[in-house]
């Protein structure tokens, strides 16, 4: 795989401001009940005002630096590189406070909620990392916090449930539908409708109604901006040949892609779970306030996603990702559970790093692409290691025991 000229949309940046309609090409928008339209408009106006305010940006940057541990480093993986025959670099979001990239977004949204005069945060979570980060930000800022989590996910991520409770959050198990991330989003949206006056919905990914996909991407843009500068320093002024990230809703991928999409020839690859691959197996539709690529049947009914990873167990993807795929600026591929487990162990064995199962999807694709020759020998690959695997160790242990 080699870099190629970057396609440019007419009239502006590839990952720029979608404007008041919140449209990324034919995707995005604001498909919400009439009762939520004022809340979305209020949030968009508040975000535009805050994002243009140097004092807000400075406070966010200071918290992410002194409290969150930014900038996170780029790590060269010498032993893994030697084994694969390609040069592997990791953007270490697993080293941020709470163990993933999620803190970048929730601190931003928490500060924004406080600026709007709201004192209560609600959130959805799958793998629990967004829930932990939201509970952390709420504790830091002195806010109430309620986290909705599918009942299935509360069992496979029991440790993160306890972490949220230790941080003072109330975790509400969702028992409807598939009892996973999709259903947690449904319940959080219902709760927001019921209590919008003093509650902010801290959505965790680049999905949902406008302005969320754009706002969350901008809060996560720090990943790509840091990585671009770090790679240029490490690579003698050059960019990596390929930037790879996992994608469920897709916030970590959007964050790192934002540093490279507009003025770099680096190839962009997002890796979905094979059982939830909206862009490799889905079709356009509307869900959770957005138009995007979704897993659905011929009647338009949403299909259940299946993944070893709770954080990628979602039947859609953020609308800007659907647009990037339509433009041809990013590729969307899938990794199966077996390959992900193998990649989890490989990174641990060669580099002493336990990746989150979500992040292991990105590693799995790099392993397969290097073996097949899709990544030529000597290619430089930057992987966004979006989270650490402590939360997944018990699950991985049980899965590996089941293999034997």
- Asked whether residue 344 is assigned to any structural domain, the reply reads yes
pLDDT on residue 12: 67
Same domain, 290 and 378: yes
Percent of the chain at pLDDT > 70 equals 97
Strands of the 74-76 sheet, one edge to the other? 74-76, 87-92, 380-385, 242-246, 267-273, 330-335
Residue 2 banded pLDDT, cuts 50, 70, 90: very low
Residue 360 banded pLDDT, cuts 50, 70, 90: very high
- Asked whether residue 211 is assigned to any structural domain, the reply reads no
- Asked whether residue 326 is assigned to any structural domain, the reply reads yes
Q: Residue 342 half-sphere exposure, CB side, CA atoms within 13 Å?
A: 10
Q: How far apart are CA 32 and CA 329, in angstroms?
A: 29
Same domain, 180 and 279: no
Does the pLDDT value for residue 6 go beyond 80? Answer: no
**Residues marked as catalytic:** 77, 101
Q: How far apart are CA 138 and CA 118, in angstroms?
A: 12
Same domain, 109 and 171: yes
pLDDT on residue 198: 94
Same domain, 253 and 354: yes
Residue 231 phi/psi, 5-degree rounding, is: -65, -40
Tell how far CA 63 is from the center of its chain: 20
Same domain, 130 and 278: no
- Map residue 96 onto helix, strand or coil: coil
Does the pLDDT value for residue 3 go beyond 50? Answer: no
Cis peptide before 106 (omega within 30 of 0): no
Angle at 383 between CA 129 and CA 350, to 5 degrees: 95
Does the pLDDT value for residue 279 go beyond 50? Answer: yes
Over residues 171-181, the mean pLDDT reads 91
Q: Residue 156: left (phi > 0), alpha (psi -120 to 50), or beta?
A: alpha
pLDDT on residue 403: 75
Pairing mode, if any, of strands 144-150 and 120-125?
Answer: parallel
Same domain, 88 and 107: no
pLDDT on residue 71: 98
What is the domain count for the chain? Answer: 2
Q: Whose CA is closest to 133, among 105, 171, 94?
A: 105
Same domain, 276 and 355: yes
Among 33-37, 58-62, 350-354, whose mean pLDDT is lowest?
Answer: 33-37
Does the pLDDT value for residue 306 go beyond 90? Answer: no
Over residues 88-112, the mean pLDDT reads 98
Same domain, 175 and 319: no
Does the pLDDT value for residue 8 go beyond 60? Answer: no
User: Among the three residues 201, 236, 263, which one is the final residue of a domain in this structure?
Assistant: 201
Q: How far apart are CA 291 and CA 282, in angstroms?
A: 12
Does the pLDDT value for residue 9 go beyond 90? Answer: no
Residue 177 CB neighbours (<10 A):
14
Domain that holds residue 394: 69-100+221-403
Q: How far apart are CA 255 and CA 217, in angstroms?
A: 6
Residue 320 CB contacts under 8 Å (≥ 6 apart), including other chains:
15, 18, 24, 27, 28, 206, 213, 214, 217, 250, 254
- Map residue 115 onto helix, strand or coil: helix
Cis peptide before 321 (omega within 30 of 0): no
Q: Are 242 and 382 in contact (CB under 8 A)?
A: yes
Does the pLDDT value for residue 21 go beyond 70? Answer: yes
Q: What sign for the dihedral angle of Cα 32, 28, 246, 232? A: negative
Does the pLDDT value for residue 124 go beyond 90? Answer: yes
Q: Residue 85 is part of a domain; what is its CATH number? A: 3.40.50.1100
Q: What DSSP character marks residue 171?
A: E
Residue 237 phi/psi, 5-degree rounding, is: 95, 0
Helices (H), 52-180: 54-66, 78-84, 102-115, 129-141, 151-156, 158-166
Does the pLDDT value for residue 96 go beyond 60? Answer: yes
Residue 139 CB neighbours (<10 A):
15
Same domain, 325 and 351: yes
Same domain, 294 and 327: yes
- Asked whether residue 106 is assigned to any structural domain, the reply reads yes
Percent of the chain at pLDDT > 90 equals 87
pLDDT averaged over every residue in the chain: 94
């Amino acid at each position: 795989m080699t870099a190629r000229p970057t396609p440019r949309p007419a009239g502006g940046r590839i990952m720029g401001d979608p404007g008041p309609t919140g449209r990324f090409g034919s995707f995005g928008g604001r498909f919400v009940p009439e009762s939520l339209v004022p809340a979305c408009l209020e949030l968009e106006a508040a975000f535009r005002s805050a994002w243009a305010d140097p004092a807000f940006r400075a406070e966010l940057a200071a918290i992410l630096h002194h409290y969150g541990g930014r900038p996170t480093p780029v790590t060269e993986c010498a032993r893994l590189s030697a084994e694969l025959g390609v040069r592997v670099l990791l953007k270490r979001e697993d080293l941020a406070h709470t163990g993933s990239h999620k803190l970048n977004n929730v601190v931003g949204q928490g500060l924004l909620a406080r600026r709007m005069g709201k004192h209560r945060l609600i959130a959805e979570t799958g793998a629990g990392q967004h829930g932990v980060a939201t509970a952390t930000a709420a504790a830091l800022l002195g806010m109430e916090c309620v986290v909705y989590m599918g009942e299935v996910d509360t069992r496979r991520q029991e440790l993160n449930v306890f972490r949220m409770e230790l941080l003072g959050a109330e975790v509400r198990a969702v028992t409807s539908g598939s009892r996973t991330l999709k259903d947690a989003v449904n319940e959080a949206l219902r709760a927001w409708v019921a209590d919008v006056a003093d509650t902010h919905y801290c959505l965790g990914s680049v999905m949902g109604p406008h302005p969320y996909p754009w706002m969350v991407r901008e809060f996560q843009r720090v990943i790509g901006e840091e990585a671009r500068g770090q790679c240029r320093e490490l690579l003698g002024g050059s960019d990596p040949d390929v930037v790879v990230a996992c994608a469920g809703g897709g916030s970590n991928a959007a964050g790192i892609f934002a540093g490279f999409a507009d003025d770099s020839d680096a190839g962009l690859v997002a890796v979905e779970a094979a059982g939830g691959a909206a862009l490799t197996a889905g079709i356009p539709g509307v869900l959770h306030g957005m138009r995007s690529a979704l897993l659905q049947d011929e009647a338009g009914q949403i299909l259940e996603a299946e993944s070893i990873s709770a954080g990628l167990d979602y039947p859609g993807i953020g609308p800007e990702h659907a647009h990037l795929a339509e433009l041809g600026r990013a590729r969307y591929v899938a990794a199966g559970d077996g390959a992900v487990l193998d990649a989890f162990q490989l990174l641990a064995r060669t580099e002493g790093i336990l990746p989150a199962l979500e992040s292991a999807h990105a590693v799995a694709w790099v392993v397969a692409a290097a073996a097949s020759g899709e990544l030529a020998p000597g290619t430089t690959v930057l992987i966004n290691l979006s989270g650490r695997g402590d939360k997944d160790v018990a699950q991985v242990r049980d899965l590996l025991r089941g293999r034997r």
